[in-house]
Amino acid sequence: MHVPTASVASAPSLEAEYEFNAEQNRIFQSLARQMRFVGIFVALLGFLASGFAALALLTTLGNTLSTALQAQQVSSLLVNLVIGFIGVYTVRAAGGFRRVVDTAGNDISHLMGALTNLKGVYRLQLTFAVIGTVLFLGAALVALLSLAR
């Protein structure tokens, strides 16, 4: 059914969005539930591990331990923070999928919001994969050059 929209360009559309059926909503509900559980678990694990890495780093700052150990602890801290934020983005995306089920009239908007948050998970992973690869290649190059001397 088509409802006429307002003539003012900035006014919101009065046209109803597509509404998913009961079977499709069960799929979204199951996905949202699983994503929320995984997201919370990953976020807690990542942030908890970050805390332990930060404590380990703080205990070695005044010592004469090798800088390699401290670099490893900083690396662990950063990686685990990324893991924590991946969990946060996953929970946010799960909320969008859950809103598809819980509301009427805005399924596509909620689906697009959920997909935007899910895209954020992968953008974060891609960003840190590129950064990690560049750092790894840089460290490998430094190691190779030091062996050549």
Q: How many domains does the chain have?
A: 1
Tens-digit pLDDT profile for residues 18-67: 899 999 999 999 999 999 999 999 999 999 999 999 998 888 777 766 67
Tens-digit pLDDT profile for residues 113-134: 999 989 988 998 899 889 888 9
- Judge whether 144 lies within some domain: yes
What does the alpha-carbon distance between residue 133 and residue 26 come to, in Å, rounded to a whole number? Answer: 40
- Judge whether 74 lies within some domain: yes
Q: Which helix (H) or strand (E) holds 125?
A: helix 107-148
- Judge whether 104 lies within some domain: yes
What does the alpha-carbon distance between residue 128 and residue 120 come to, in Å, rounded to a whole number? Answer: 12
Residue 27's domain comprises: 22-148
Long-range contacts at 67-76 (CB < 8 A, ≥ 24 apart): 76/49
Give 120's contacts (C-beta < 8 A, 6+ positions apart). Answer: 89, 92, 93
- Judge whether 6 lies within some domain: no
Nearest partner of 45 among 92, 82, 94, judged by Cα: 82
- Judge whether 39 lies within some domain: yes
- Judge whether 65 lies within some domain: yes
- Judge whether 81 lies within some domain: yes
